[in-house]
């Protein structure tokens, strides 16, 4: 799992730190997986490949906005300000995503992670959803998650996991616009906002790559997404051992 890198307070300390809310770890461990944290750091494709060599699956987690220059747009006033640490996280996660897709490693994207996946594969984002849908329901602010009903696309991997619809915990003011190469929409909400994508099963039948715009870690009474990526990772590990 990838992590944040920003100023953080703990006890008497106020320092630049890499961290991830523990609820993400609980999602993985409750589903039977072993959690490993990947702090943002300078990487190139070769270093990303070395990191992936030690993993069986990858989760790109939530966090700050992806820098819009990554998908060829100027910064919207509502988009997070440019920061060196955020640029480093973007670059690392793009490299990890590209490497995971190349090798067929199971990948789950969560919120920002869905956007990272899309941008890494050449897609773009809506930088501020209220400009598109006319309201702030998707991110009401003050760390209060809103509940949206998402409807899955029949025949998608996601539909096989969660059924026709699900109530999702959302906290995002950005969303996927133009799809990245090889991705298909697997869920939307009532506004038509893309709430999940995955690699096209027609062209990538063996690849388990699913990304959701919502926060499944906020509902650990429903471990289906975490269980699915852990199960896919176990299968990937077995295939590597037998290769």
Residue with tokens 């990858």: 58
pLDDT of residue 137: 77
Given a cut of 90, whether residue 140 has pLDDT beyond it is no
CATH number at residue 109: 3.40.50.880
The reply to whether 217 belongs to the active site is yes
Which among 126, 198, 215, 218 is annotated as catalytic?
215
Domain housing 72? 4-242
Per-residue pLDDT band for 203 (boundaries 50, 70, 90) equals confident
The reply to whether 138 belongs to the active site is no
Residues 208-243: tens digit of each pLDDT: 999 999 999 999 999 999 999 999 999 999 999 997
Per-residue pLDDT band for 143 (boundaries 50, 70, 90) equals confident
Which among 111, 173, 198, 218 is annotated as catalytic?
111
The reply to whether 135 belongs to the active site is no
Given a cut of 90, whether residue 201 has pLDDT beyond it is no
- Quick one: CA dihedral 62, 37, 230, 96, positive or negative? positive
Check: CB of residue 210 under 8 Å from CB of residue 228.
yes
Given a cut of 90, whether residue 196 has pLDDT beyond it is yes
Q: Helix count (H) and strand count (E) of the chain?
A: 7, 11
Residues 146-187: tens digit of each pLDDT: 888 999 999 999 999 999 999 999 988 999 999 999 999 999
Given a cut of 90, whether residue 116 has pLDDT beyond it is yes
Taking the C-alpha atoms of residue 75 and residue 166, their distance in angstroms, rounded to an integer, is 33
Given a cut of 80, whether residue 136 has pLDDT beyond it is no
Average pLDDT over the chain, rounded to an integer: 95
pLDDT of residue 60: 98
Per-residue pLDDT band for 190 (boundaries 50, 70, 90) equals very high
Q: Total domain count for the chain?
A: 1
Which among 195, 198, 217, 218 is annotated as catalytic?
217
């Amino acid at each position: 799992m990838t992590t944040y890198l920003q100023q953080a307070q703990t006890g008497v300390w106020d320092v630049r730190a890499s961290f991830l809310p523990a609820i993400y770890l609980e999602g993985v461990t409750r589903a039977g997986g072993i959690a490993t944290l990947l702090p943002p750091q300078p990487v190139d494709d070769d270093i990303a490949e070395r990191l992936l060599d030690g993993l069986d699956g990858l989760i790109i987690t939530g966090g700050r906005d992806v820098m819009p220059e990554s998908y060829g747009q100027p910064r919207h006033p509502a988009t997070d300000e440019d920061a060196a640490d955020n640029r480093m996280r973007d670059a690392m996660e793009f490299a990890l995503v590209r490497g995971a897709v190349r090798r067929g490693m199971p990948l789950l994207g969560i919120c920002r992670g869905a956007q990272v996946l899309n941008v890494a594969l050449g897609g773009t984002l809506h930088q501020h959803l209220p400009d598109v849908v006319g309201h702030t329901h998707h991110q009401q602010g003050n760390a209060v998650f809103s509940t949206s009903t998402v409807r899955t696309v029949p025949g998608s991997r996601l539909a096989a996991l969660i059924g026709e619809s699900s109530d999702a915990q959302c906290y995002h003011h950005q969303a996927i616009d133009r799809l990245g190469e090889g991705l298909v929409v697997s869920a939307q909400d009532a506004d038509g906002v893309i709430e999940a994508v995955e690699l096209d099963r027609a062209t990538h039948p063996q690849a388990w790559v699913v990304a959701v715009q919502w926060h499944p870690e906020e509902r650990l009474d429903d471990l289906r997404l975490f269980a699915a990526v852990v199960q896919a990772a176990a299968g990937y590990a077995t295939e590597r051992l037998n290769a």
